[in-house]
Amino acid sequence: STELTEEVRDLLEQLQKQAASLTVERRGDGFAHSDEKQFTIDPANAEDYRALIAELQSHDKIPEKIVPLWPLDSDAKTARTLGFDSLLFLSQALGAHNVTAKMSLTVCSHGLHEVTGDETVLPENAMLLGACTVIAQEYTNIVCRSIDVAGMEHSAIADRIVAEVLSDAAELTVAWRGKHRWAQTFEPLRIEQQQAAPALLRENGVYLITGGLGRIGLVFAKYLAEQVKAKLVLTARTALPERAGWRDWLEQHDEGDPTSSKIRAIQSLETVGAEVLPIAADASDTEQMQTVFAQAEKQFGGIDGVIHAAGILDDDAFRPIQEITPADCNRHFAPKIEGLRAVDAAIAERQLDFCMLVSSISSVLGGLGFAAYAAANLYMDAFASRKNASGSFPWLSVNWDAWQFGEEDAHELALTPDEGAQALHRILCTGSGEQIIVSTGDLPARIDQWVKLESLHTAEKTEQKAQPAARYARPQLQTDYAAPRNDVEQSLANLWQELFGIEQIGIHDNFFDLGGHSLLATALIGRVRDEFQIVLTLQSFFDHATIAELAEQIFDKLVEQEDDDLLNEMLAELEQESGEEIE
């Protein structure tokens, strides 16, 4: 902040004793600096972060360690700006200025976790964990850690944070409570299958599902219809035709029509004994949600339980950090965060049997392009935790794994609708407010792979020592082998051959046809960063997934950065190959 708080002053004094160089960045109305070590920026302005990194870069002062402290001083109104947005803008600025050096990012905060039961959870602050996880996945030169503090004096907070900043501890998510250090872990929970309906459900009970006409919402609706012949209130953003016109609509539209599919789904629910009230409503609109509750009470007499399943799953809603905008983030925040607030406001003094939040395993595993989505789901997890601390009925936050509804989204770890319904049954049978992760694979192994990035970091440490591994012969591919034409393509071919263990990869072979996936793509981008000192985005790589196309991307980046030495070397090679002069 403009005026440093007592704990921040203590912390800066201790860091000053340890650091060779310390740069301080404060909140203000815009970018300014009195010298090369004291800066002021507007946390809500992405351009200020770019100006800051540019200034540091011009003085060769890019830090090895960055310690964001603003979340220590945040509240519900400022948490997104000082936490999630700030971290995104910072990482975007580092990428925009092609900062490839290894660095650590230690984010200090409060209100992220309920550990002792005495602290106040701040769901808005929990969003920054989404940024922390995905930054490290998309920028493999950055190790990002979260340190949450509560229940200690200012000087003790400074002691703990300095120790964490200077340590090489493996834990990425840590909470200090007084004298005790807690590291986040996950425990397996085995819930036996039960034949009877869960005690939380009532026969002919009334259940509201926001996003209830989406594919996941309809799985839950079908389950409730089959279990207890429920009365279902299903919301969607788009209105359906009046019931009287459904028959005509189905006759006039083909089976693939989205509205027709929803009408048939409702008819199917009603054939197994459910009563269905579809309502067009924006889950993030408090007034509209109040109307939904009023309509449900008028038709059915009340609501017994709520499942908040509204969310955006469109492919174009998931964008890499380097390309994401606040508007992109809001697409996820509106249904999940604003929607949850609207649902909570509508519940108000009403007494429910339960409220279940459809969260995502991205809260734990992150995911490339999932920064905003993970943040929104982390908010929901923290919100449920806070409500359970003082509420009169259970709030469940369930972190669902990926789903598959057809060949287009088939994946070995994805849940089928039947598996999802079975998992829902077991979860509701617990009968209490919990955060439960539904992972179809070994969760600790997935955390090691995707969050701790152990395979990538191990490979980096052993790369210089390891002997060349035996390579397999070139597989049958749709493309014929084409040899590299210059040193850049040869360097890329060598990188690909090391990653895949294949002895001959051509410049027109597609990365994904070779068996590549997003984690390998991240590793390759990191290797390109180290080899050529440039930063490529994941989306750019996905769009140009051959060695030849990637070489062109590298060339374009070098032109932007005016790397004359390497450009001249590449041009000389191209002229020699073509026999023509290239301007």
- Please list the pLDDT of the chain residue by residue as tens digits (583 residues): 445 566 677 777 777 777 767 788 888 889 998 777 889 999 999 999 999 999 999 989 999 999 999 998 899 999 999 999 999 999 999 988 888 888 999 999 999 999 988 888 999 999 999 999 999 988 888 999 999 998 888 788 888 998 999 888 889 999 999 889 999 999 998 888 888 899 999 999 999 999 999 999 999 999 999 999 999 999 999 999 999 999 999 999 998 899 999 999 999 999 999 999 999 999 999 999 999 999 999 999 999 999 999 999 988 899 889 889 999 999 999 999 999 999 999 998 889 999 999 999 999 999 989 999 999 999 999 999 999 988 789 999 999 999 998 877 667 789 999 999 999 999 999 877 789 999 999 999 999 988 988 766 655 554 444 444 567 888 888 899 999 988 889 999 998 888 888 888 999 999 988 888 777 787 788 788 878 888 777 777 888 899 999 998 888 877 776 655 656 666 666 566 656 665 5
Query: What are the distances in angstroms from CA 322 to CA 189, 334, 425, 452, 466?
Result: 37, 21, 40, 21, 33
pLDDT at 209: 98
Q: How far apart are CA 436 and CA 427, in angstroms?
A: 8
pLDDT at 34: 76
If DSSP codes are grouped into helix, strand and coil, which group holds residue 87? helix
Question: How open is the CA angle 520-522-527, to the nearest 5 degrees?
Answer: 95
129-168 burial by CB neighbour count: b if 16+ within 10 A, else e?
Answer: bbbbbbbbbbbbebbbbbbbbbbbeeebbbbbbbebbeee
User: Hey, what amino acid is at 339?
Assistant: G
- Please state whether 562 falls in left (phi above 0), alpha (psi between -120 and 50) or beta: left
Q: In what order do the strands lie in the sheet with 173-177?
A: 65-66, 103-109, 142-150, 173-177, 180-183
CA torsion sign for 301, 307, 308, 310 is negative
Alpha-carbon Rg for the chain, nearest whole angstrom, is 27
Q: How far apart are CA 27 and CA 33, in angstroms?
A: 12
Q: How far apart are CA 512 and CA 142, in angstroms?
A: 25
Q: How far apart are CA 17 and CA 27, in angstroms?
A: 23
If DSSP codes are grouped into helix, strand and coil, which group holds residue 435? strand
pLDDT at 580: 60
Q: How far apart are CA 360 and CA 430, in angstroms?
A: 19
Q: Which of 231, 197, 232, 227 is CA-nearest to residue 211?
A: 232
Give the β-pairing of 206-210 and 231-236: parallel
Scanning the structure block, which residue is given the tokens 């120790």?
163
**Entry pTM:** 0.88
Whether the Cβ atoms of residue 209 and residue 235 lie closer than 8 Å to each other: yes
